[in-house]
Amino acid sequence: MLTAIAGPFLVALLLALAVVPLCRAAARRFNFLARPRTDRWHQAAVALFGGVGIAVVIFATAAGFGLAAKLPVLMISAALIAAATISTRPSTGIPGPPSPIGPPIATPQCLS
């Protein structure tokens, strides 16, 4: 059981270590950055494509090890969630869906 998990995990880890920096470089090159604002914690611009790199690695590893054929509903669901997340990012200019729970009750702006 452990060897069935360890192989795909190690492959995905090594691929992610290679792909995520490439996605970061692409995000910086094409200016897909989260800029510092008063409602954000970071002090410098942060690249936004890291999650895309991780998603690509997960799907490629799953396909390479045959998990996509064994668990098609899970893979299709994960692909739809990834696509919806990417398409509603603020950097795309497409507004995301409204929050189902409404605005937060106490934000740092409210407390100051």
Other Cβ atoms less than 10 A from the Cβ of 103: the count is 8
Question: How would residue 94 be classed by pLDDT, with cut points 50, 70 and 90?
Answer: very low
Q: How long is the chain?
A: 112
What are 32's two structure tokens? Answer: 């897909």
Q: What pLDDT is stored for residue 87 in this prediction?
A: 64
Chain-centre distance for alpha carbon 63: 18
Q: What pLDDT is stored for residue 32 in this prediction?
A: 81
Which of these, 50, 67, 55, lies nearest to 7 by C-alpha position? 67
- Render pLDDT for 27-80 as a digit per residue (tens, 0 to 9): 889 888 878 877 777 788 888 777 888 888 988 888 888 888 888 888 888 888
Helix, strand, or coil (residue 86): helix
Judged against a pLDDT cut of 60, whether residue 23 lies above it is answered with yes
Question: How would residue 102 be classed by pLDDT, with cut points 50, 70 and 90?
Answer: very low
Judged against a pLDDT cut of 60, whether residue 101 lies above it is answered with no
Judged against a pLDDT cut of 80, whether residue 99 lies above it is answered with no
- The CA R_g of the chain, rounded to the nearest whole Å, is 18
**Distance from C-alpha of 33 to C-alpha of 29, rounded to nearest angstrom:** 10
CB 32 within 8 A of CB 91: yes
**Distance from C-alpha of 56 to C-alpha of 62, rounded to nearest angstrom:** 10
